[in-house]
Amino acid sequence: MSAEPTTRTHVVLPTRLLEQLDDLVGPRHRSEFIAEALAQSVQRARLQKALDAMKDWPKEERSRETELAEFAEAAEEIRRDRRDNKRERWLEENWLAHPQ
């Protein structure tokens, strides 16, 4: 049992759902399972509420050309990094491993 204070409550559940819950966790672990599932559901609802609130924030005006230019710049940087990594690997494998 958790150290967090608890409160007894009464909830009404569909019979089939309760049977499925009992098959899954057993009747002596209902409260733990329901509390965990409810905590996850509350967290998801809070996150969704925050995301919905963010939709109302003013968006930065960016042109399609600016986005494409930034994408192209990032792609070129990745290519340069890969090229540099290939050179370093080649040096390590061929030059440094077999010094002349």
Domain range list for the chain: 15-54, 60-100
Residue 26 predicted with pLDDT over 80: yes
Instruction: Determine the 3-state secondary structure of 98 from DSSP.
Output: coil
Side-chain-side CA neighbours of 38 within 13 Å: the count stands at 7
CA–CA gap between residue 6 and residue 15 (Å, rounded): 25
Q: What are phi and psi of 27, to 5 degrees?
A: -65, -20
CA–CA gap between residue 29 and residue 22 (Å, rounded): 8
Side-chain-side CA neighbours of 80 within 13 Å: the count stands at 6
- With a pLDDT cut of 90, the percent of the chain lying above it is 37
What does the pLDDT look like over 32-75, one tens digit per residue? 999 999 999 999 899 888 888 877 766 666 678 888 888 888 88
Over range 85-89, report the average pLDDT: 75
- H or E segment and range at residue 94: none
Residue 99 predicted with pLDDT over 80: no
pLDDT at position 1? 47
Find out whether 55 and 63 touch, Cβ atoms under 8 Å.
no
Residue-averaged pLDDT of the chain: 83
Residue 100 predicted with pLDDT over 80: no
